[in-house]
Amino acid sequence: MAGKDEPWTWHDIGVMFCFLGFMLVCSVVFGFFWQSVNGRCRRRGADRIEQLRASGLLRGEKEGADGVGEQIEPK
């Protein structure tokens, strides 16, 4: 019986690949969820910065690459 594969070996391999597939699906769903929430937070932050600029609280500042204001130093 050394050369014959036991039936539970194939079952274990099937369970392993099903688990890996399930983890892949969960990762993709989480990625879409994360992008959605992250986009909403970025829009909210951009709106908040625009409101602060409109109110004059951010005058004399320049928008950085990440959307956060950076102080302009006179030279």
Task: For residues 54 and 4, give the distance between their C-alpha atoms in angstroms, rounded to a whole number.
Answer: 76
- pTM of full prediction above 0.75: no
CA nearest neighbour of 68 among 38, 46, 37: 46
Q: What is the pLDDT along the chain (75 residues), one digit of tens a residue?
A: 455 667 788 899 999 999 999 999 999 999 999 999 999 999 999 999 999 988 888 865 555 545 555 555 555
Q: What pLDDT, on the 0 to 100 scale, is given for residue 39?
A: 96
The pair of structure tokens assigned to 24 is: 């892949």
Q: What pLDDT, on the 0 to 100 scale, is given for residue 1?
A: 45
Q: What pLDDT, on the 0 to 100 scale, is given for residue 40?
A: 96
Domain extent listing, the chain: 8-37
Under DSSP, is residue 61 helix (H, G, I), strand (E, B) or coil?
strand
CA nearest neighbour of 53 among 38, 39, 67: 67
Q: What pLDDT, on the 0 to 100 scale, is given for residue 67?
A: 55
